[in-house]
């Protein structure tokens, strides 16, 4: 009886939030899914049911395929950069924890993560500018021709991977740093006793 | 008999008095109902805000309490808010829309039918040519009031032309290529620093397709060909389409007079970063504001120009609707339209005398004093036109990054055929594909 009362109380307690969540999330999602089975452009009076025709058209859309491929390349590109680099940076920061600059390193690596994407994108857009960007100016010192970073189909993908990695790296470092801090020191001591180098310990 | 005559006379007098009172009362009521209103005007051209505010200011004598709030934002954002606003019932009372955009709302019966006097005003040939009256109509009924149009001409830097030894503007599309080569300025490594001809090569949206269409028109054809009975067929892979894309690629990758990343459009022209470009008349006002010392001239295009018409429509009811139509009628006052041309630069659609503006701003000459054989075209006012242009633009941007296409007619044609396939599938989906 007491357990049922507790359940009832818990249910009643979360009911208002559930109701709001249902109204602002579940119902609109359901409505969108229902509308996706109709032919409608928001404006037309008629909304004929067309089944999965919209989805079939989408799967045949060349631009949709291109967007999927580009998104996948960017996602895996960011992963390939942030995971190993994140571990390395976290290890470096962790093993210099006694350094007076360790907080500075942690903060500076994490700042990009909290910077809003809009000003960050504008700053990077300037960096990658083909005529006035500092990146091309820097590369020209080594004899590299200026590149149209944001207009070339391949280079533009690389630029987005760089931007996303720059933003995501701080969070990855934070996660790995927490992981490093939970590692028992005894493991490192044991590795040292066994003659492991710093890299081997890592 | 006298009594009857007197009675009739009295009745007639009473009737006339009643009629006069009702007309006066209605006018007073209308004026009162307009005057006490607050209406909003939505525009997709920020530079038009000054015009609408000027019109509202001019209405203060007659409608002292009418409050007109003008909200003019960038075109794409404007189109989004119109789509959301009209369907949610939260739109402005006066909405400025291009013919092609208005078509989908008129198809859905979402805009007001004007009162009879407004319809008659628009249909009057003394006020508008048949072209503009039709642009404001749907299915034979007038729905909007024509206001301004976009019409293209060539802008060229006369100092740069003189320095390159060019005495007059290009007359043919082949001239454009030759001129661009002479006008392009390069640094020591050969990279162009001033483009010989600024072409719309990036920026997303349907503008890229529209500018391609303008150039294709000079080569003799258009993007969508009418196939009769309200049907259309995509025409990118025609001889004109091939010639147009070939010209773009020639300038990009063979003569390299322009690159995708170079500054472009009016801003570049005003900063002296391009020698010539094709654009609408609003640039004249823009140059006057931002680069008043720039030495430039305008010229007609080799064959003709696109005409994109903008109309004012109403979405309101009751007194707000009355106020909205009163505002729209005020925009058509001749002195307001002369002000529009003089201060904003968009070309008014109403027939009238604009010679005073052309006399002081000779740049407008290429827009109003046209060769007899000058041919206009317009984008079809069909529902999916925006999707068609945006899709085409995505393909064209891809082509502008393919140097391997340059000079290869067969490859260019094959590429354009892929665009045709895509566009025809959209037309077929909407039941608009002809043979």
For residue B10, pLDDT beyond 70: no
pLDDT digits (tens, 9 = 90+) for A70-109: 999 999 999 999 999 999 999 888 877 667 777 888 888 8
Where is average pLDDT lowest: A127-141, B16-30, B294-308?
A: B16-30
Does the domain made of B36-149+309-363 have the CATH classification 3.40.190.10?
A: yes
* pLDDT given at position B9: 47
The CATH fold assigned to B153-307+367-429 is D-Maltodextrin-Binding Protein; domain 2 (3.40.190)
pTM value? 0.80
For residue B3, pLDDT beyond 70: no
Closest residue in B to A47 (Cα) is: B108
Where is average pLDDT lowest: A145-159, B62-76, B336-350?
A: A145-159
Determine whether the interchain pair B401/A153 forms a contact, defined as Cβ–Cβ distance below 8 Å: yes
For the segment B358-381, the average pLDDT, to the nearest whole number, is: 89
Structural domains for chain A: 2-58 (no CATH), 66-201 (1.10.3720.10)
* pLDDT given at position B34: 67
Q: Does B136 touch chain A (CB under 8 A)?
A: no
Closest CA to B58 of B338, B291, B310: B338
For residue B7, pLDDT beyond 60: no
What ipTM is given for this predicted complex?
Answer: 0.70
Closest CA to B225 of B377, B102, B98: B377
Phi first, then psi, for residue B369 (nearest 5°) are: -100, 95
Query: Rounded to a whole number, what is the distance in angstroms from the first to the last CA of chain A?
Result: 55
Determine whether the interchain pair A43/B260 forms a contact, defined as Cβ–Cβ distance below 8 Å: no
Q: Does B105 touch chain A (CB under 8 A)?
A: yes
B152 or B204: whose pLDDT is higher?
Answer: B152
Determine whether the interchain pair B422/A153 forms a contact, defined as Cβ–Cβ distance below 8 Å: no
Q: Does B407 touch chain A (CB under 8 A)?
A: no
For the segment B261-269, the average pLDDT, to the nearest whole number, is: 93
Domain ranges of chain B: 36-149+309-363, 153-307+367-429
Residue B383 — very low, low, confident or very high, per pLDDT cuts 50/70/90?
Answer: confident
Residues of B whose CB is below 8 A from A44: 104, 107-108
Residue B52 — very low, low, confident or very high, per pLDDT cuts 50/70/90?
Answer: very high
Distance CA A166, CA A81 (A): 9
Percent of chain B beyond pLDDT 70?
A: 92
Closest CA to B335 of B54, B28, B53: B54
E-assigned strand segments in B73-139: 94-98, 137-138
pLDDT digits (tens, 9 = 90+) for B307-330: 999 999 999 999 999 999 999 999
Residue B37 — very low, low, confident or very high, per pLDDT cuts 50/70/90?
Answer: confident
Residue A184 — very low, low, confident or very high, per pLDDT cuts 50/70/90?
Answer: confident
Q: Buried (b) or exposed (e) across B218-233, using 16+ Cβ within 10 A?
A: bbebbbbeeeeeeebb
Nearest to A152 among B383, B394, B401 (CB): B401
Quote the mean pLDDT of chain B.
90
Determine whether the interchain pair A146/B105 forms a contact, defined as Cβ–Cβ distance below 8 Å: no
Q: Does B203 touch chain A (CB under 8 A)?
A: no
* pLDDT given at position B5: 46
Determine whether the interchain pair A57/B422 forms a contact, defined as Cβ–Cβ distance below 8 Å: no
* pLDDT given at position B28: 52
* pLDDT given at position B32: 53
Chain-centre distance for alpha carbon A54: 29
Q: Does B394 touch chain A (CB under 8 A)?
A: yes
Closest CA to B202 of A66, A163, A125, A61: A125
Min Cα distance A153 → chain B (Å) is 8
B16 or B228: whose pLDDT is higher?
Answer: B228
Fold agreement (B36-149+309-363, B153-307+367-429):
yes
Closest CA to B333 of B102, B27, B61, B92: B61
Residues of B whose CB is below 8 A from A57: 429
* pLDDT given at position B35: 66
Determine whether the interchain pair B109/A153 forms a contact, defined as Cβ–Cβ distance below 8 Å: no
For the segment B90-98, the average pLDDT, to the nearest whole number, is: 96
Nearest to B261 among A57, A148, A153 (CB): A148
Determine whether the interchain pair A131/B107 forms a contact, defined as Cβ–Cβ distance below 8 Å: no
Residue B14 — very low, low, confident or very high, per pLDDT cuts 50/70/90?
Answer: low
């Amino acid at each position: 009886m007491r357990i049922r009362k507790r359940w009832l109380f818990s249910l009643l307690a979360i009911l208002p939030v559930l109701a709001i969540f249902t109204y602002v999330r579940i119902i609109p999602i359901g409505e969108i899914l229902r509308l996706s089975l109709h032919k409608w452009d928001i404006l037309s009076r008629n909304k004929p049911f067309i089944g999965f025709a919209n989805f079939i058209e989408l799967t045949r859309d060349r631009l949709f395929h291109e967007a999927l491929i580009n998104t996948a390349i960017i996602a895996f590109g960011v992963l390939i950069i942030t995971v190993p680099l994140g571990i390395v940076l976290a290890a470096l920061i962790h093993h210099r924890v006694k350094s007076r600059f360790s907080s500075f390193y942690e903060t500076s690596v994490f700042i990009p993560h909290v910077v809003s994407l809009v000003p960050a994108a504008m700053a990077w857009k300037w960096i990658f500018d083909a005529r006035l960007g500092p990146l091309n100016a820097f590369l020209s010192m080594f004899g590299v021709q200026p590149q149209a970073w944001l207009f070339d189909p391949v280079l533009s993908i690389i630029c987005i991977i760089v931007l996303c990695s720059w933003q995501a790296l701080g969070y990855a470092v934070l996660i790995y740093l927490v992981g490093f801090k939970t590692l028992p020191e005894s493991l490192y001591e044991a590795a040292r006793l066994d003659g492991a180098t710093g890299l081997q310990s890592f | 008999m006298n009594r009857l005559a007197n009675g009739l006379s009295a009745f007639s007098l009473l009737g006339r008095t009643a009629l006069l009172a009702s007309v006066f009362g209605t006018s007073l009521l209308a004026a009162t109902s307009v005057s006490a209103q607050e209406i909003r005007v939505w525009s997709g051209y920020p530079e038009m805000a000054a015009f609408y505010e000027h019109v509202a200011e001019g209405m203060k004598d007659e409608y002292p309490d009418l409050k007109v709030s003008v909200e003019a934002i960038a075109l794409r954002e404007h189109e989004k808010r119109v789509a959301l606003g009209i369907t949610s019932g939260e739109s402005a009372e006066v909405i400025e829309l291009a013919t092609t955009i208005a078509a989908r709302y008129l198809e859905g019966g979402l805009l007001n039918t004007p009162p009879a006097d407004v319809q008659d005003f628009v249909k009057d040939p003394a006020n508008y040519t048949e072209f503009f009256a039709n642009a404001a109509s749907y299915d034979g009924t007038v729905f909007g009031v024509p206001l301004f149009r976009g019409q293209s001409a060539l802008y060229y830097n006369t100092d740069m032309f003189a320095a390159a030894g060019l005495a007059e503007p290009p007359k043919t599309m082949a001239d454009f290529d030759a001129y661009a080569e002479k006008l392009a300025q390069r640094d020591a490594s050969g990279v162009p620093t001033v483009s010989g001809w600024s072409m719309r090569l990036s920026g997303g949206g349907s503008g890229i397709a529209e500018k391609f269409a303008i150039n294709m028109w000079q080569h003799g054809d258009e993007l969508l060909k009418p196939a009769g009975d309200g049907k259309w067929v995509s025409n990118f892979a025609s001889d004109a389409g091939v010639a147009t894309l070939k010209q773009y690629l020639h300038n990009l990758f063979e003569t390299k007079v322009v690159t995708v990343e170079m500054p472009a459009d009016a801003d570049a022209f005003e900063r002296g970063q391009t020698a010539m470009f094709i654009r609408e008349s609003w640039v004249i006002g823009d140059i006057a504001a931002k680069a008043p010392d720039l030495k430039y001239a305008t010229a007609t295009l080799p064959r003709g120009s696109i005409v994109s018409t903008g109309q004012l429509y109403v979405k309101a009811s009751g007194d707000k609707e009355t106020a909205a139509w009163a505002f729209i009628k005020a925009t058509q006052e001749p002195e307001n339209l002369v002000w529009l041309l003089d201060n904003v630069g968009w070309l008014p659609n109403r027939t009238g005398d604009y010679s005073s503006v052309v006399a002081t701003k000779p740049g407008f000459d290429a827009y109003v004093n046209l060769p007899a054989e000058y041919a206009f075209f317009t984008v079809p006012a069909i529902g999916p036109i925006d999707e068609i242009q945006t899709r085409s633009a995505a393909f064209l941007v891809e082509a502008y990054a393919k140097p391997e296409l340059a000079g290869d007619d067969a490859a260019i044609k094959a590429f354009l055929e892929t665009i045709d396939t895509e566009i025809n599938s959209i037309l077929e989906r909407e039941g608009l594909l002809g043979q």
